[in-house]
Amino acid sequence: MESTISHAVYYTPPKVSYCDEGGVISRHVVLHVIYFPAMKTANAKLLRMLVHLDAQYEAARKILYGILHFATTNHHWEVQFTDRELPYGNLSFYRDWKPDAIITDCRCHTIDNAAFTATSGRAAVFVNTTPPRGWRRPCAVLESDNAQIGKTAAAFFLHKKLANFAYIGDANPRSWDKARYEAFSESIGAADATVHCFSKPTESSWATHEKTIAGWLKSLPMPCGVFAAYDIRGKHILDACRFAGLSVPEQIQVLGVDDETHICEQTVPTLSSIAPDYEAGGFAAAEFLDGVLRGSERRRMAEGRPRHIAFGIRGVVERMSTTDIYGTAQRITAAKKFIRQYATTQIGVGDVAAAVGVSPRVLQRNFRAVTGTTILDAIQEVRLEKAKSLLRKTTIPVNNLATFCGFSSPSHLKRLFKARLGTTMSAWRTGTSHLS
C-alpha cells in the first residue's frame, strides 16, 4: 500500500534577536517552521548516493552540506556519508547497500579497488582528483575555480597598496596549485610587479623546513603580501614569521584559502582566507549525478570523459594577518615608491615623510622596523643604482655623474660608491664595459 505524509513540520535552529523595549534589552528566540508538501514514502524507488570525503577538513563538511541540501529538496535521493576515520568508514561496509552513485575525494590508488568498484554505482564525482585509469562510467571532476582564487588574492593585495608579492604552494605541487599561482602571478604582472615563489622543499623534517621558509621570508622585499595555496600552508608562514622574528602584518601579510575556521581563528595572528563556495560545489555535484541517473545529463556526455565542475568563491574573510590597523605597511610602500621616483632630485627624509603624510620621526621608526634599513639608506641605494646604470650605459665623465644621481657633490658620490661597492667608479666602469 502506498502511503503519504500530508505535511511535515521541520524546525530550523532558533535564531536569537535583540530589541530595545523602553530602554531594556530583551532577548527573543525566533523559531522558523517550514511546511513541506506531501511526499510519497512507500513504493518509491530511492536513488542511493554514497559520499566518501575526508571530514577532518571543513571544506569537505561544507561540500556535504551542499549535497544534503540538494537531497532535502529532491526526495528521491537517500544519502549516506562515510569517512576513512569513522567506525563505518570502510567502503566494503556499503557494498550490499548498492549505491547508485558516489562522491569521493580519495585518489583511487589509496583505497581498495574492489570495494570502490562495488560501491561507485553507475556514476561518480571525484573531488579534486581524477578518475581511475580505464574508468568508463559517467563522471565529473569537482574543484574550486582556481583561476578566480588566484585573481582574487592578487586583487586583495593590490587593494592594500602593496608593491611586493610572494606565493607558497603545496609541498607536492598539483594542478590546482599551479592554476592558483599562474592566475595570481599573471594578475600581479599586469600591475607591473613580480611574484617571488617559494621553491619546492627538499627537507625531510618540519624543523629544517621551517628554517628554510623563515630564511625565504627574510629575503623578501618588505612589506610583502604572501599568498598561501591553502590555510595550513598559511599557518606555516605565520609560524615561520614568529620563528624569524618578522612582524605580521607590518612586514608580512598572509592570505590563505579555504577559510578553515578551526585553523584560521587559532593562529597567531588570526589568518585571513579566501572562502570558496564549497556548499554550492556540493549541490552542483549532487545535481550532476541526478541528471546522469535520470537521463538528462547522460545524453550530453561522452562515455568515460569527465565533466569539469568548477564552483566560485564566497569572498575573502579578513582577519588580523592582513589587517594593518595603523597603516604601517601601506605607509612604507608609499614611501618606497616616492623614493624610487624622486631619489635623484636631492630629496631628504623630511620630503619623504611629507609625501606620506606623517612626521619624519614616525616614518623613520616604521621604515626601519619593516625594512631593516633607514630612509637615507634607501635613498642612497636608489642613487647608487642610477650611478651604476649611467657608468654602464653612458660615457659621462665620473666627475659629472653626481648631479644626475641626486648627490650634492662628486666627492660624496665617490666616497659612498667606494664604501658600498669596494671599488672606484672608474674601475667599476672598466670592469663592466663588456656588458654594455
Which carries the bigger pLDDT value, residue 129 or residue 42?
A: 129
Is the pLDDT reported for residue 195 higher than 50? Answer: yes
The torsion angle over the Cα atoms of residues 402, 405, 407 and 408, rounded to 10 degrees, is: 60
3-state helix vs strand vs coil in the chain, percent to 5: 45, 20, 35
Helices marked H in 294-409: 328-342, 349-356, 360-371, 375-393, 402-405
What grid cell was written down for 74?
Answer: 529532491
Q: Long-range contacts made by residues 231-234, C-beta under 8 angstroms, separation at least 24? A: 231/256, 231/257, 231/258, 231/259, 231/260, 231/263, 231/264, 231/271, 231/273, 232/260, 232/263, 233/168, 233/169, 233/170, 234/263, 234/264, 234/267, 234/271, 234/273, 234/321
CA atoms within a 13 Å half-sphere pointing along the CA-CB vector of 391: 23
Domains and CATH numbers, the chain: 1-40 (no CATH), 45-325 (3.40.50.2300), 328-435 (1.10.10.60)
**pLDDT at residue 43 tops 70:** no
User: Residue 6: pLDDT above 50?
Assistant: no
Query: How many whole angstroms separate alpha carbon 189 and alpha carbon 198?
Result: 17
CA angle 248–253–259, rounded 5-degree value: 105
- Between CA 54 and CA 79 the distance in angstroms is 16
Q: Which three cell numbers stand for residue 425?
A: 667608479
- Write down the pLDDT at residue 24: 39
Cα–Cα distance for residue pair 14/400, rounded to 1 Å: 79
Instruction: Find the range with the poorest average confidence among 124-138, 204-218, 252-266, 364-378.
Output: 124-138
| pLDDT at position 296 | 62
Closest CA to 285 of 114, 133, 59: 59
For the chain, what percent of residues have pLDDT higher than 70? 82
* pLDDT for the residue numbered 377: 93
Q: What are the tens digits of pLDDT across the range 277-287?
A: 999 999 999 99
The answer, yes or no, to whether residue 12 has pLDDT greater than 50, is: no
> Distance between CA 407 and CA 345 in Å, rounded?
8
Convert the pLDDT of each residue in 160-188 to its tens digit: 999 999 999 988 888 899 999 999 999 99
Question: For the segment 403-418, what is each residue's pLDDT rounded down to a tens digit?
Answer: 899 998 999 999 999 9
State the pLDDT at residue 45. Answer: 79
Spatial neighbors of 407 by CB under 8 A, at least 6 apart, are 346, 383, 413, 416
User: What is the overall mean pLDDT for the chain?
Assistant: 84
Between 22 and 87, name the one with better pLDDT: 87
Cα 404-408-409 angle, rounded to 5 deg: 85
Question: Looking at residue 40, what is its pLDDT?
Answer: 53
Rounded distance between C-alpha atoms, residue 127 and residue 410, angstroms: 66
Three-state SS for 32-98 is CEEEECCEECCCCCCEEEEEECCCCCHHHHHHHHHHHHHHHHCCCEEEEEECCCCCCCCHHHHCCCC
Read off the pLDDT of residues 92-151 as tens digits, 9 standing for 90 and up.
788 888 899 999 987 644 555 656 666 778 899 999 888 887 778 889 999 999 999 999
Contact 215, 158 (CB under 8 A): no
Q: What is the pLDDT of residue 7?
A: 38
Map residue 228 onto helix, strand or coil.
Answer: strand
pLDDT at position 93: 81
Check residue 105 and give its pLDDT: 86
CA pair distance 210, 203, nearest whole angstrom: 9
pLDDT at 97: 87
